[in-house]
């Protein structure tokens, strides 16, 4: 940061709104006059504007590029100045004059122009006045807050919408055409709300308070705002410092550490501005959710999409700045890809003009070297993935002196003489009235529908289609087969149910576990599937057989198996138990001896056992099986995410603190055989943690790219999933809000149904709430072949949702398991 101008006023201006534009800045002098300085040539004589009779309390520049307007307010007048016209009159030796647009409106604390500079909003007391910028006219006076107003901002994409914040700790959305309130928020904090801003690209509104809290609300066309995320500056600042210390080490001198004896000060959100307004077209679009926050000790750059602090520019780190604690901020984009700040000192009558070149912040978007889910090199000779299972051939010893059976004729086939057959009476006649079998025609018709591509333009599956009560125990895990025809359900009563995708007919029941089933997984060939349980056993089942082909008993493992799946195109069994990650080779042999029917002929062999870096228990695991991939993602009870490179057999990278709690669900974007996505999309993965929402990560940079926390998850391990098209994300939820319905005798509390939430991957706000659930939604999954969504609840119920667009699969009337 470079200090371009330092001014000393005759009085404190720490709590006054100052004006800063890309070319000029305005500062009150002698209380009632204004000096306009050039940002590019600070040595030039400032332009003097006179006309107020009282002390100036607020100033702001216009937003239009046609002409530069300045609005200033005092207790007597509100004046709009044309800066270029005033400069011209001053050069001609005349007195610069402005247009009085309001008079005697009280103590104005905040001014703002609309996007076209046609109207001005002035906050005075509990009323916001909408004034014309061309003449003295009060278009409307809006009152409704219970406390004094602190800010007012016009919506950049709709000039008829205004948002106001107040010391009553709420904000309101006003429709200026009808002069009514479109939306009124609840009480957000114990401290007053003092600032607001819009993120036009994401259609979000941002609210800041004096105690350092930032709220992000969605701003749809009906203006019914929904909370998207909440950020506490002190918490994210502490997390940033901790991550820097762990990354650079304790000996790194460049790490900004908080001294132990330093007094913790409050960090009021004095001013906010979207980062995208400062950048040019050469900067990636990833900055559309970045927010610049001016506080008392420096500038904070926050990523609203991930609720993370990207960087902090402290005043104390720049000794050339004649400023230590800020009282007010004015932020504006500058020239040559820069930012300009006009900051007033809190305790001294100083005002500083600061310029920041964005090239100084290149480290924000320069991510760490990450990984790719697709292999970039061949297998190493010593790679664990090169291990093969040697199949033993049956050895039948020959008996000595055994006489082989000899044929009685010289040919291998003896033709019958035909003496015993009746004489032929009719000659050959062709069949001309053969009827085609309708079964094969129908089968071909159904197969054509099943092999259709997943509709990429379909809407989210939110229409309830079918529901089923299957047990009184929780549905811990559900998974579709690769072709989308069948569903596996792991229940809390230690059984596994196999349903058709339509949930019709009776399911096939598989029993054998002694404790709740924690994981189920289909093989890529759909011939096998496996189940893991809290009883420390893993069972591999043959499709259609009621008995498991492989049983891995609890004597091999000391702790329950949390996650299990097929890996590397069905070559391995991959599962986690305690701090260990096991990689097993297997060979399935379903033939059985009637006498020794309990003797298992299938073979399993340990290929490699990996241990997490910190020897912490594994809570969740994910790997791709639909295509070759060396990457396995492992989550630990120490809140870490570790990236295993199975080709080298090592932990390639580790994320130390991705969530505030241990991750209980991790899901990769694997797509399906019915859909095709961009290659980079397969590097995304989701993580879910109790009380910390859902985060989406990019494996290439190992950074969080978006956060979803509109749903409620306080204690249960609610899962999340990607849609096959990669456009939607669904998450289970414990959301069971209590609504109040008015009755004749008062108010009656009505418990609303539980919900699952569907998100658009491009926005942090939820897209739909899936209603009509009777209990907490634990498990969610998408059908890989058609736009369908299945949910499982804590009380043992399944609910199927379909899309209003996109072709559904033809209902299958066959049994879930074909008879053998």
The 10s digit of each residue's pLDDT in 706-740 is 999 889 899 999 999 999 999 999 999 998 743 33
* pLDDT on residue 271: 94
* pLDDT on residue 407: 59
Question: Rg (Cα) of the chain, in Å, rounded?
Answer: 35
The mean pLDDT value for 744-772 works out to 72
Q: How confident is residue 538, by pLDDT bands cut at 50, 70 and 90?
A: very high
* pLDDT on residue 755: 84
Residue 53: count of CB within 10 angstroms of its CB: 11
The mean pLDDT value for 757-761 works out to 92
* pTM of the complete model: 0.81
Instruction: Tell me the sheet residues that pair with 671.
Output: none
Among 523, 520, 499, 510, residue whose Cα is nearest residue 816? 499
d(CA 680, CA 696): 14
* pLDDT on residue 206: 95
User: What's the pLDDT tens digit per position in 109-124?
Assistant: 999 999 899 999 999 9
**Which range among 274-283, 314-323, 399-408, 508-517 has the greatest average pLDDT?**
508-517
Which helix (DSSP H) or strand (DSSP E) does residue 77 occupy? strand 77-82
* pLDDT on residue 436: 56
Helix segments in 14-123, DSSP class H? 83-91
Could you report how far apart the first and last alpha carbons of the chain are, in Å?
A: 76
Q: Is the pLDDT of residue 254 over 50?
A: no
For residue 640, the Cα-to-chain-centroid distance in whole angstroms is 18
**Which range among 760-764, 781-785, 807-811 has the greatest average pLDDT?**
781-785
The topology under which CATH files domain 465-592+599-737+752-802 is Methylamine Dehydrogenase; Chain H (2.130.10)
Question: Are the beta carbons of 165 and 145 closer than 8 angstroms?
Answer: no
Instruction: Tell me the sheet residues that pair with 750.
Output: 739
* pLDDT on residue 813: 47
User: What's the pLDDT tens digit per position in 386-427?
Assistant: 999 876 654 545 555 555 556 555 666 666 666 666 666 666
The mean pLDDT value for 695-713 works out to 91
The mean pLDDT value for 82-93 works out to 89
User: What's the pLDDT tens digit per position in 312-360?
Assistant: 999 988 888 888 899 999 998 877 778 888 999 998 889 999 988 877 7
The mean pLDDT value for 208-218 works out to 93
> Which of the pair, 744 or 789, is modelled with greater confidence?
789
The mean pLDDT value for 595-618 works out to 83
* pLDDT on residue 410: 60
Q: Is the pLDDT of residue 162 over 60?
A: yes
Domain range annotation of the chain: 465-592+599-737+752-802
**Mean pLDDT, the chain, integer:** 84
The mean pLDDT value for 172-180 works out to 94
Token pair listed for 226: 């929904």
Helix/strand/coil (H/E/C) assignment for every residue in 124-193: ECCEEEEEECCCCCEEEEEECCCCCEEEEEEECCEEEEEEEEECCCCEEEEECCCCEEEEECCCCCCCCE
d(CA 351, CA 354): 10
Token pair listed for 359: 């090239």
Q: Using the 8-state DSSP alphabet, how is residue 17 labeled?
A: B
Among 695, 639, 631, residue whose Cα is nearest residue 663? 639
The mean pLDDT value for 443-463 works out to 71
Pairing of strands 463-469, 350-357: unpaired
Question: Are the beta carbons of 289 and 303 closer than 8 angstroms?
Answer: yes
d(CA 175, CA 182): 6
Percent of the chain with pLDDT over 90: 54
* pLDDT on residue 772: 84
Q: How many CA atoms lie within 13 A of 568 on its CB side?
A: 23
The mean pLDDT value for 377-383 works out to 92
For residue 43, the Cα-to-chain-centroid distance in whole angstroms is 49
User: At residue 344, what are phi and psi to the nearest 5 degrees?
Assistant: -105, 145
The mean pLDDT value for 275-301 works out to 73
d(CA 308, CA 402): 82
User: At residue 97, what are phi and psi to the nearest 5 degrees?
Assistant: -130, 150
Q: How confident is residue 429, by pLDDT bands cut at 50, 70 and 90?
A: low
Q: What is the DSSP string of 401-458?
A: TPPPP--SSSSSS-----TTSPPP-S-------PPPPHHHHHHHHHHHHHTSPP-TTP
The mean pLDDT value for 502-511 works out to 92
Q: How far is CA 326 from CA 211, 269, 297, 563, in A?
A: 15, 11, 6, 52
Q: How confident is residue 150, by pLDDT bands cut at 50, 70 and 90?
A: very high
d(CA 25, CA 59): 10
Percent of the chain with pLDDT over 70: 83
Exposure letters 13-26 (e unless 16+ CB within 10 A, then b) = bbebbbbbbbbbbb
Q: How confident is residue 182, by pLDDT bands cut at 50, 70 and 90?
A: very high
Token pair listed for 272: 């906010």
CA geometry: angle at 665 spanning 659 and 668, to 5°? Answer: 100
Q: Is 569 helix (H, G, I), strand (E, B) or coil?
A: coil
Q: Looking at 176-320, which runs of residues are DSSP E strands?
A: 180-184, 193-199, 204-209, 213-218, 226-232, 271-274, 290-294, 298-303, 308-314
Contacting residues for 267 by C-beta, under 8 A, at least 6 apart:
212, 233, 234, 237, 295, 296, 297, 300
Give the total residue count for the chain: 820
Q: Is the pLDDT of residue 79 over 70?
A: yes
The mean pLDDT value for 172-196 works out to 93
d(CA 769, CA 635): 28
CA dihedral 698, 231, 321, 349 (to 10 degrees): 160
Token pair listed for 711: 């749903």
Among 336, 227, 238, residue whose Cα is nearest residue 279? 336
* Least confident span in 206-215, 430-439, 548-557, 565-574: 430-439
d(CA 541, CA 511): 11
Among 633, 673, 677, residue whose Cα is nearest residue 651? 633
d(CA 244, CA 722): 31
Among 344, 277, 339, residue whose Cα is nearest residue 63? 277
Pairing of strands 663-668, 684-689: antiparallel
Among 647, 659, 617, residue whose Cα is nearest residue 634? 617
CA geometry: angle at 240 spanning 667 and 294, to 5°? Answer: 115
């Amino acid at each position: 940061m470079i200090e371009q101008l330092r001014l000393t006023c005759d009085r404190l201006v720490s709590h006054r709104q100052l004006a800063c534009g890309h070319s000029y800045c305005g500062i009150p002098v002698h209380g009632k006059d204004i000096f306009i300085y050039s940002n590019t040539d600070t040595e030039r004589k400032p332009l003097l504007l006179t006309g107020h009779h009282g002390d100036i309390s607020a100033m702001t520049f216009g937003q239009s590029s046609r002409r530069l307007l300045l609005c200033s307010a005092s207790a007597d007048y509100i004046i709009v100045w044309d800066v270029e016209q005033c400069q011209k009159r001053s050069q001609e030796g005349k007195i610069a004059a402005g247009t009085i647009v309001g008079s005697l409106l009280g103590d104005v604390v905040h001014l703002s122009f609309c996007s076209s500079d046609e109207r001005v909003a002035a906050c005075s007391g509990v009323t916001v006045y909408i004034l014309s910028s061309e003449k003295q006219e009060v278009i409307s006076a809006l009152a409704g807050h219970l406390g004094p107003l602190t800010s007012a901002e016009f919506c950049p994409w709709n000039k008829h919408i205004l948002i106001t914040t107040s010391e009553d700790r709420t904000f309101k959305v006003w429709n200026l055409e009808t002069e009514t309130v479109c939306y009124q928020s609840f009480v957000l904090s114990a401290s007053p709300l003092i600032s607001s801003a819009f993120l036009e690209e994401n259609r979000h509104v941002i609210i800041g308070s004096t105690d350092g809290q930032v709220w992000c609300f969605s701003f749809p066309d009906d203006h019914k705002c929904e909370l998207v995320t909440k950020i506490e500056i002190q918490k994210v600042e502490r997390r940033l410092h901790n991550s820097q210390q762990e990354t650079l080490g304790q000996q790194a001198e460049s790490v900004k550490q908080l001294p132990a004896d330093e007094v913790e000060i409050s960090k009021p959100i004095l001013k906010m501005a979207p980062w995208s307004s400062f950048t040019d077209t050469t900067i990636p679009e990833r900055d559309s959710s970045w927010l610049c926050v001016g506080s008392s000790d420096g500038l904070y750059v926050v990523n609203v999409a991930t609720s993370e602090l990207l960087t902090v520019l402290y005043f104390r780190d720049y000794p050339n700045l004649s400023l230590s604690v800020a009282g007010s901020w004015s932020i504006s984009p500058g020239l040559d890809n820069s930012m300009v700040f006009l900051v007033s000192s809190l305790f001294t009558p100083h005002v500083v003009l600061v310029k920041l070149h964005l090239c100084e912040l290149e480290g924000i978007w320069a991510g760490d070297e990450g990984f790719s889910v697709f292999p970039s090199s061949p297998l190493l000779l010593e790679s664990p993935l090169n291990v093969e299972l040697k199949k033993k051939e049956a050895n039948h010893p020959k008996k000595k002196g055994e006489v082989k059976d000899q044929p009685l004729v010289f040919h291998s086939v003896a033709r019958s003489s035909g003496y015993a057959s009746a004489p032929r009476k009719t000659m050959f006649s062709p069949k001309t009235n053969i009827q085609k079998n309708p079964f094969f025609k129908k089968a071909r018709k159904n197969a054509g529908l099943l092999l259709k591509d997943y509709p990429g333009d379909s809407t989210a599956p939110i229409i309830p289609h079918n529901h089923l009560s299957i047990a009184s125990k929780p549905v811990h895990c559900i998974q579709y087969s690769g072709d989308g025809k069948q569903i596996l359900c792991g229940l809390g009563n230690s059984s596994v149910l196999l349903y058709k995708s339509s949930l019709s007919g009776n399911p096939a029941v598989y029993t054998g576990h002694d404790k709740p089933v924690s994981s189920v997984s289909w093989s890529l060939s759909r011939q096998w599937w496996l189940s893991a349980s809290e009883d420390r056993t893993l069972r591999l089942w043959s499709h259609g057989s009621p008995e498991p082909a492989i049983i891995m008993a609890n004597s091999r493992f000391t702790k329950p198996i949390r996650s299990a799946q097929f890996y590397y195109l069905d070559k391995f069994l991959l599962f986690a138990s305690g701090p260990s990650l096991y990689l097993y080779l297997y060979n399935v042999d379903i033939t059985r001896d009637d006498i020794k029917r309990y003797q298992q002929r299938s073979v399993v062999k340990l290929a490699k056992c990996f241990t997490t870096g910190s020897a912490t228990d594994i809570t969740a695991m994910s790997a791709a099986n639909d295509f070759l991939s060396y990457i396995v993602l492992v989550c630990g009870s120490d809140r870490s995410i570790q990236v295993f490179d199975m080709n080298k057999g090592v932990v390639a990278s580790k994320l130390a603190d991705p969530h505030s709690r241990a991750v209980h669900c991790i899901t990769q974007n694997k797509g399906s055989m019915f859909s095709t996505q961009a290659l980079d999309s397969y590097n995304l993965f989701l993580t879910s943690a109790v009380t910390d929402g859902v985060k989406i990560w990019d494996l290439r940079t190992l950074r969080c790219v978006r956060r979803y926390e509109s749903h409620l998850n306080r204690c249960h391990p609610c899962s999340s999933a990607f849609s096959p098209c990669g456009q939607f994300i669904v998450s289970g939820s414990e959301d069971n809000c209590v609504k109040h319905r008015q009755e004749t005798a008062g108010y009656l509390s009505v418990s609303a149904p539980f919900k699952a939430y569907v998100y658009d991957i491009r926005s942090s706000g939820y897209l739909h709430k899936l209603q009509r659930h009777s209990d907490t939604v634990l498990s969610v999954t998408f059908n890989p072949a058609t736009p369908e969504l299945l949910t499982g609840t804590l009380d043992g119920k399944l609910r199927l949702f379909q899309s209003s667009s996109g072709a559904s699969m033809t209902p299958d009337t066959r049994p879930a398991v074909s008879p053998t």
